[in-house]
Structure formats: structure tokens, C-alpha cells
Structure 1
């Protein structure tokens, strides 16, 4: 996938329980839109120039001294370099950097019978399009996910507070591949009463 040079905005639709990959040139912006409301967006990113340098949630937490992302901060790579900056938040402002992506192993542990779509599988399908094959699926930034932490250190995944059309906007600090998955979890109510689509808008 080539790094875009066009200044013409691009729109990508992500159906419920699926994912997509886009490539951003330095300085370009990605807006993630919750089309119907209450839908979590798992975000992963990797340098377009080095497949061993991806967005690290632990590095980002440690460097920002924050459990949850906020406007103005950067999302850092495994090499402590900024890949994306959090430029704008047109949502209730509740996001997560604690939860792992849902996976086949998670659904088996929850005793779900048979196959269930997952963010981990959707991540691997999208990452393969740019020949990115990490041994383990990285932890994502979970935009719109509500996981409040209690005084005793426990936390609970609650339904997302977003309304239809709410969004966040990120700016690429370097050429970067970004994967966004519309979270597939429907055994817990983090996506409201059902999983729904997302929309990506990419432009200068």
C-alpha cells in the first residue's frame, strides 16, 4: 500500500464486526466516526517504514502518565517515537487504553460455542495487506470504550456513551499504517445492545 500524496479526502466504511487498514502520509488526518452510536473502535498503528515499530499502549501510558487518552497527547511507538497525535475529540471524551482486543481465545474462555468474529482476527487480516505479521496482536487504543477504574483498582466495561456521528481525529506524525476495527464484542454490553459500523475519513 502506497503512502497517499493526494489532498482529496477519502472515506472508508467499516461494517459491524470487521476492520480496515488505511495509510496516512505525515501530517494527514484520520477521523473515526461512530455512525450509529455506542460502538467501540479498536485502533492499531505501525510505521510505514519499519514493521517492527508499532503503536505501543504501554509506552504511551508510561510516557503520558495517563491511563486513558486525551486531546493533545501523542501515541508512541515501541521506539518511543510519536506515530499519531490526538488532535480533536467530538465525542463525550471517554476512551480506553486498558483492555486487550477481543480474540478467539477470549470467546472460548467466555464459553461461546462455535465461531465468533473478533478484533484480533480482523487486525491480522488487515495487517497482512501491508505484510505486517507481528507474533502477538498489539494492545489497541479503544476509542469510545468506557472502562472506569474504581478506587480499589477494579474496572468494569460499560456501554459506550457516544451518539450517532460522534468522532475523534488523529494526525499522523510520520507515514503510518492504521488499522481500525469495529469491536465485535456482543457478549458484554460495551457496544450497547448490538455491534454497529464505523466510518473513517482521511485527508490533509
Structure 2
């Protein structure tokens, strides 16, 4: 679903193990709400004026000198331009920029037999609606995901700490298309006991 750029606030519901795309004008905001709690939100973004310039997690880490997102920082593109700014965090504050999106390949590597929905598939289903067709699925910003790094450099993905209604708010620094997926991983407990929906609020 694509939300037209306007000054009228819009709400988008993302069912469990699904995704959606929204369009933000420069200065507009996106609020991502964890409706039931313990649900990870994978976020991808691309410049609305150049579909070859998308949010790069490695570039963002290099520009911010941070492994994990923090309020006040920007998320940078492959061209080292800020696309979004992390404006507000109404959650316990655990977010991730280390893990790739779950994918069919990941589930096969985990010895899952048969079809399983994934953030990679849901990303492509949403991105095609704005004619975005990257050769590889970009690494996402995993809001609400808890992946603490230990002193020896190892890290583990743990259940999200969010409660129902917890949220994060981002501000667009330029016109962007943003894809958000409600993470599909249910073989490990990063989404609590089961995968649940998300809600997006878009507006000035």
C-alpha cells in the first residue's frame, strides 16, 4: 500500500508477517507502533527522486559511529545523505543495525522445510509498488530488536522488550519511500511467543 504525500495524517495497518510501503514528503513523520508488544519492525527506505539511493546500514554505522540507533541521529543513504532522522523513541530503546532481513535462504539454513514468509519477500512485495527493484534486499534497521553485543564481540538476538503501544518516530529529511515489515521470524523468540501486527502513522 502506498500512502500519497499530503498534510492529512494516514494510518496503515501491517498484518503479522507482512509489510507495507509509505511515501513521506520532506519534513513529514512516520510513527511505527508495536500494537501487541514484542514485535520487531524491519525498516527500509529509498530516495523518492533516485531509486538507486537507499538507506544503507553500513554507511549509517560509519557516519554515526554507532552499532545501534539512537534518538537524534540520522539514517544515511548509499550517497552519504541523511534520509531519515530518529526523532522520538517511546519504547525501551533496544534497536538493531546488525542483522539482515529474514529470507527463504535463512529458513532453509535453519532446516525449515516448506514455505515460510520472510521480511525479504515482504520487502519486495511492498517495494515493487513504488517501482523499487534493488538486485539485493538491503539490510534493514530493525526497530525493537534486541541484539546486545558481549565483551568478546559475540551477540545474540533476544526477545523484544516492547509493550503494547510502544513506538518510534522518524522525520523525513527528503522525500522518501519507506518499507516496513512486521518481522516474520518465529523459529527464534525475537518476536516473543508469536509474530504480531504493526501500525504506521504518517503525517506532518
Q: Aligned pairs, how many?
A: 203
Structure 1 residues 91-130: aligned runs within 5 Å:
91-130=91-130
Contact 2:3 2:22 in 1 (8 A): no
Matched, 1:9 2:31: no
* Alignment correspondent of 1:149: 149
Match of 2:161 in 1: 161
Give the alignment's TM-score, normalised by structure 2.
0.98
Distance 1:179 1:134 in 2: 13
Q: Separation in 2 of the partners of 1:76 and 1:112?
A: 34
Runs in 1 of length 4+ with deviation above 6 angstroms?
Answer: none
Distance 1:85 1:131 in 2: 24
Is residue 26 of structure 2 the alignment partner of residue 23 of structure 1? no
Matches of 1:130 and 1:193, distance apart in 2 = 33
Q: For 1:162 and 1:88, how far apart are their aligned partners in 2?
A: 15
1:147-191 CA distance string (max 9 Å, x none):
000000000000000000000000000000000000000000000
- Unaligned runs of 5+ residues in structure 2 are none
Question: For the Cα contact (< 8 Å) 1:41–1:182, is it kept in 2?
Answer: yes
Structure 1 unaligned regions, length at least 5: none
Q: Distance in 2 between matches of 1:117 and 1:153?
A: 30
Q: Does the aligned pair in 2 maintain the 1:38–1:159 contact within 8 Å? A: yes
Map 1:182-193 to 2 at 5 A. Answer: 182-193=182-193
CA shift digits 1:2-55 (9 cap, x unpaired): 851x21110000000000000000000000000000000000000000010000
Normalising by structure 1, report the TM-score: 0.98
When the two chains are superposed, the root-mean-square deviation of aligned CA atoms in Å is 0.8
